[in-house]
Structure 1
């Protein structure tokens, strides 16, 4: 079987987790050939990846290796900055920062570009269970979808929640946001990517209800999907440890990409 050439955008906490896990258990028939990093990450990335992998800060040098598949692990800005170039190159773009797709004109533009160029946009779903059931309910006729994300207060530091709540003084579970998935993606771009994934699989960004909760007793991050329609109901909760280097995300987030690569399942394909 021909080897699949892989590029990785991002060398922060999630990007490093992907590289570390890949080093321990390489993905069969796949090879990382290039990593796009920020300027201050170049030397660390070269040390971690060794010879034979292009480490660069330039998207065009990155794409010169002709990756068949590009993994984004660098945030909303990376998606909006690089999606067009990746798709024009005909590559499959695997997006972890799904909240970037809440921007309707941007989403429509890159979907149209993917259709013209032969590229593809994929969202791994291994970090949240229940997406398959949600997709099935959507075919039957969804009437309501609600996603609740509960995390310790430290996870909400550096967000707009700090302007409204004294996160360090909370003594009980506190709702810090209630609105739709589009609003959650806008106000909490680093915390609401799973909410965005649920929105893509279900009723869309405007009609997916989202509640974000700071809970001082929470041992980690959890996400709960509640959906109903056509006489059926779906309720599923996934809980996991926070990433040691980034409490805003779960440790399983990066691994969901590797699960997708190993099995070519556990993903949403946008066309």
Structure 2
């Protein structure tokens, strides 16, 4: 496989460390000019045009919301399938529509990985029946909320107990906390929608990692899921499971059996 990669931060580097010669014949990484990419089969593209011209078999985006508009849109139009990690970008309704149109026009597929959350298959299966109610709570240690609007809402250094600092819809949270809201956006897109999925964000000084919990009520049945993810080594904001979820999507492109 020839893999294209947009972003060479914590997720991108970790992915390439996990992917071996049996997974990849070639890698093209969109990176800033002069950025070193430590992978034996990696080539660096310094522009979106150069990345698309390289014609990767699959493109993985893990560079943030700006990259979705700047790189994912033209890649889909060019007929390149994309795994989108920055799912919260779809809280922008106009951008979501543009991505759908680009994928249709290019005959490409936009793939939304489950990331750090589980049960997406069941939630998506229930959605067509209607009547869904989804309530999500994201809990992380205070340091994982640094560099976000949480710093303006609560005293992260002075917390002695779990504190809710945001309540709203999945669309609200994706726009206010773009680096921390991909799980909420994933749940919303699989289930009740951005404006009907209720979200709480919590800072907890006793949290050992990133906790994702949600409850679903449906005419087909009710369920609750709680996942205590370990943070990735390079970024407290990112669950390690997110990286492995993307790895699964890449390997599912090659394997004779997909699950």
TM superposition score normalised by structure 1: 0.89
Other structure's SS at 1:129 match: coil
Q: Is residue 170 of structure 1 aligned with residue 159 of structure 2?
A: yes
**Which residues of 2 match residues 160-239 of structure 1 at below 5 A?**
160-239=149-228
Other structure's SS at 1:108 match: helix
* Cα offsets for 1:19-38 (capped at 9, x unmatched): 11114xx554x434200112
Other structure's SS at 2:235 match: coil
Match of 2:9 among 5, 12, 25: 12
- Structure 1 runs, 4 residues or longer, greater than 6 Å off: none
Match of 1:60 among 19, 27, 49: 49
Contact in 2 for aligned 1:27/1:261 (Cα 8 Å): no
| Aligned twin of 2:29 | 35
Give the C-alpha shift of residue 261 in structure 1: 2.0
**Which residues of 2 match residues 253-264 of structure 1 at below 5 A?**
253-264=242-253
* Cα offsets for 1:242-270 (capped at 9, x unmatched): 1222111111211111112223557xxxx
| Aligned twin of 1:108 | 97
Other structure's SS at 2:231 match: coil
RMSD between aligned alpha carbons? 1.6
CA gap 1:187/1:126 in 2 versus in 1, 3 angstroms:
closer
Contact in 1 for aligned 2:140/2:211 (Cα 8 Å): yes
TM superposition score normalised by structure 2: 0.93
Contact in 2 for aligned 1:134/1:234 (Cα 8 Å): no
Contact in 2 for aligned 1:8/1:70 (Cα 8 Å): yes
* Distance in 1, Cα, partners of 2:228 & 2:186: 16
Give the C-alpha shift of residue 223 in structure 1: 0.5
* Cα offsets for 1:69-107 (capped at 9, x unmatched): 100011111112112211121010110010001100110
* Distance in 2, Cα, partners of 1:114 & 1:108: 10
| Aligned twin of 1:49 | 39
Q: Provide structure 1 residue ranges, at least 5 long, that are not aligned to the other structure.
A: 267-271
Other structure's SS at 1:248 match: strand
Give the C-alpha shift of residue 217 in structure 1: 0.3
* Distance in 2, Cα, partners of 1:189 & 1:126: 15
Number of residue equivalences: 255
| Aligned twin of 1:135 | 124
Give the C-alpha shift of residue 133 in structure 1: 1.2
* Distance in 1, Cα, partners of 2:16 & 2:73: 24
